[in-house]
Amino acid sequence: MRTQVGIIGAGPAGLLLSQLLHINGIESVILEKQSREYCEARIRAGVLEGGTVELLHEAQVADRMEKQKLLHGGIEIAFDGKYRYIDFVDLTGKDLTIWGQTQIVRDLNKARAEAGANLVFEAEDVAIHDYESDSPRITYTKDGEPLEVQCDFIAGCDGYHGVSRASIPQDQISSFERVYPFGWLGILVENPPVSDELIYAHSERGYALFSMRSPTLSRLYIQCNADENPDDWPDERIYEELRLRGGERVAADLVEAPSIEKSLAPLRSFVAEPLRHGNLFLAGDAAHIVPPTGAKGLNLAAADVRILYRALVAYYKSSRTDLLDAYSETCLRRIWNAQRFSWWMTSMLHTFPDSTPYERRLQISEIDYVTNSRAASLALAENYVGLPFD
């Protein structure tokens, strides 16, 4: 099989890249090790920056989002018995969109299928070859038959555990990582959100987040040990912690409903450098991971795709190579800004097991300052809504 761009991974990054290339007349093949049903069922991020929303419009997959989305104009931070609101619209003139990654993947899959895309699910034994040459190849097995994709470029969009980054010799890539001593235990419930805006709660018992996916669907998280078994957390125990951590107002407004999904996500910060190796380009979680505290993971992946697809369009339409050459440097500038912000939000709002009483007091003081100072609130707001692309 011959194509222009071979894409590994049918998550939001791989699908979005393929769709944008298609609109610009560039062929691609997507290989995904999981089934379509599995990919569309994964519960992930749901807060979209304006730049991500614009890219979904550019990809012609925004119609359903525009009809069903929620707008997110700020966040509340609950701490020490207080609730402080940071108004993003007032501070930056920008809001955010609540629209789940699951829905984005479904819309992209539908668009790619309607366009007759070559999208191979349940591809086994995927391997990358000759990516340093002008004729890279991807081999895989489908239904027991060995197959091959010949292409000009390979986009590795297959996540942290995927084959793309693992195909690069260790002496040719640098990794920067921090693993946090806790995770997020999240539940999805068919219940109206406890508030019109997200509530980030800091308490001595640990962090909690009160989020939403729709007017009737809530996403709730609590900080817990990274090695916890979700089965040890029945809904009643989770709701008890949510009430204790969220404060009196949240405790009064929170209505229990059975969870329809429950999962534990360890928290880590990770960056791989560089993101280009010959004609192999890393994008999304294959290149970087951020803690979800700052709502940057999906938005960073979309930013990578924006930069990569425009570089590929410039190459195929104008024979330009400068944007491809600058891909890694351009992406990494934004990635490290998001890493810093996500690390800071995580450090400010979570309870660390080895914190001293002095450090705990500093956390409360910092939250008090950030939520009480317009200048400090503006710094948080402009990072949360998304820094400019240019």
pTM of the predicted model as reported, rounded to 2 decimal places = 0.95
Dist CA 114 CA 110 (whole Å): 6
Characterize the bridge pairing of strands 74-79 and 198-202. Answer: parallel
With contact defined as beta carbons under 8 Å apart, do 203 and 319 qualify? no
292 is catalytic: yes
Which of the following is catalytic: 33, 72, 277, 350? 72
Which of the following is catalytic: 69, 296, 327, 350? 296
The secondary structure of 183-205, three-state, reads: EEEEEEECCCCCCCCEEEEECCC
Alpha helices in the chain (DSSP H): 12-23, 36-41, 50-58, 63-68, 88-92, 101-114, 163-166, 235-246, 248-253, 297-318, 322-325, 327-349, 357-372, 374-385
The pLDDT profile of the chain, 390 residues, written as one tens digit per residue, is 999 999 999 999 999 999 999 999 999 999 999 999 999 988 777 899 999 999 999 999 999 999 999 999 999 999 999 999 999 999 999 999 999 899 999 999 999 999 999 999 999 999 999 999 999 999 999 999 999 999 999 999 999 999 999 999 999 999 999 999 999 999 999 999 999 999 999 999 999 999 998 899 999 999 999 999 999 999 999 999 999 999 999 999 999 999 999 999 999 999 999 999 999 999 999 999 999 999 999 999 999 999 999 999 999 999 999 999 999 999 999 999 999 999 999 999 999 999 999 999 999 999 999 999 999 999 999 999 999 886
296 is catalytic: yes
Amino acid at 270: F
384 is catalytic: yes
Which of the following is catalytic: 180, 292, 309, 315? 292
Partner residues linked to 211 by β-bridges? 219
Torsion angle of the four alpha carbons 39, 237, 294, 298, in this order, in degrees rounded to the nearest 10: 0
Closest CA to 250 of 296, 292, 218, 291: 218
160 is catalytic: no
The second-level CATH assignment, the architecture, of 5-71+96-177+268-345 is 3-Layer(bba) Sandwich (3.50)
Which of the following is catalytic: 200, 221, 239, 315? 200
* CATH number given to 181-267+352-385: 3.30.9.10
| Tokens 């690390």, residue located | 343
With contact defined as beta carbons under 8 Å apart, do 48 and 96 qualify? yes
Q: Can you give the pLDDT at residue 390? A: 67
Q: Can you give the pLDDT at residue 213? A: 87
Closest CA to 203 of 112, 82, 76: 82
72 is catalytic: yes
Question: Is 322 exposed, middle or buried, given 0-12, 13-18 or 19+ CB atoms closer than 10 A?
Answer: exposed
Domain with CATH 3.50.50.60 in the chain: 5-71+96-177+268-345
Q: Can you give the pLDDT at residue 389? A: 81
Domain with CATH 3.30.9.10 in the chain: 181-267+352-385
Characterize the bridge pairing of strands 137-142 and 124-129. Answer: antiparallel
